[in-house]
Amino acid sequence: MFSDLFNYFVIPTFISIGAFGVYYLLNPENGSTILKNVAWESVKLYSKASIYFENLAQTSEITDDSDFENDDFDEIKPLLSYYNYEKDLEVQMGYDYNNLPQEWWEDSEKNIDLIIIKKDTKDSKPMFKTFTNYKKLNSSDKQNWETVEKQFVQVELVQNEACIDIHKHLDSFYIKGNTLFTPAFLNWYLKKWFNNVLTEDTYTLKIFDKDVNLFTLTPQQYILITDDGYKIKNIDEESESEESENDEESASEYEGAQDD
């Protein structure tokens, strides 16, 4: 058996490596290109395999816990908190946020840069919904916690010439409708899990997604989780859209008052 392995695997492997070594010496430019292509294809294969086996493991965990009472899980009430970026302050609102009047939210709007709803799960890893303001929270389906598959293999924050890998805890955020990587989200996320904060306005995010696409985000961009993946959005465009909606609402209220 060992001789067969040696004849059919070890010897051909060494011959191939030796032949490529000779080719590289004779054609270093083409050899370098081949090496880069092989390395890139290896990274793609590893990334896709990693995501596949991770999803398989999660499915197995769910199957193994089939005796878990879903009714008990559904009775768990989500907790809400909001975050103020300028003060780096998170305020816990607890379970009763649905009972707060809209006037309270409107009065507090200037202090709210991020709204977080946390829901505990059976495997002790919580799920999080995130919103940039009360209007989006109010218009959302608070009972819908529809998850999507893991979107990012690696996320790195680059600031002050230092690079931090921050993708470890993102599995809890792959929920349809979530907004990720706004400055407020990043500062809250860094403080909560990495004992770190944003220290400058010129940071960048280097992201490697599940389809092996590489791209960067600036502080003016963020990610919106959709039902079939994600979208890259611009903060300025969102602000302009909200201002336009507010103008339309004001005009509608004014016309209504005129009619009266």
Within-domain flag for 259: no
- pLDDT for res 250: 43
**Which of 45, 64, 83 is where one domain is finished?**
64
- pLDDT for res 18: 62
pTM above 0.75, yes or no: no
Instruction: Using a pLDDT cut of 70, give the percent of the chain over it.
Output: 62
Are residues 136 and 223 both part of a single domain?
yes
**Which of 13, 29, 64 is where one domain is finished?**
64
- pLDDT for res 141: 86
End-to-end CA distance of the chain: 94
Are residues 128 and 226 both part of a single domain?
yes
- pLDDT for res 238: 67
12-16, 113-117, 196-200, 229-233 — which is least confidently predicted?
12-16
Are residues 77 and 55 both part of a single domain?
no
Within-domain flag for 258: no
Within-domain flag for 101: yes
Within-domain flag for 129: yes
The answer on pLDDT for 32 being more than 70 is no
Are residues 18 and 91 both part of a single domain?
no
Burial (Cβ within 10 Å: 0-12, 13-18, ≥19) of residue 130:
buried
User: How does pLDDT run across 55-112, given as a tens digit for each residue?
Assistant: 555 444 444 444 434 444 455 789 999 999 999 999 999 888 878 888 898 899 999 9
- pLDDT for res 85: 94
What residues make up the domain containing 40?
2-64
The answer on pLDDT for 117 being more than 90 is yes
Are residues 185 and 204 both part of a single domain?
yes
**Which of 32, 47, 64 is where one domain is finished?**
64
10-19, 118-127, 238-247 — which is least confidently predicted?
238-247
The answer on pLDDT for 235 being more than 60 is yes
Hunting for tokens 């780096």 — which residue is that?
88
The answer on pLDDT for 259 being more than 70 is no
Q: Find out whether 149 and 174 touch, Cβ atoms under 8 Å.
A: yes
Are residues 128 and 174 both part of a single domain?
yes
- pLDDT for res 30: 67
* pLDDT tier at 40, thresholds 50, 70, 90: low
Number of H helices, E strands in the chain: 8, 11
58-67, 138-147, 181-190 — which is least confidently predicted?
58-67
CA distance 160 to 148: 33
Are residues 153 and 209 both part of a single domain?
yes
Domain count, the chain: 2
- pLDDT for res 145: 92
The encoded tokens of residue 112 equal 């709210």
- pLDDT for res 33: 66
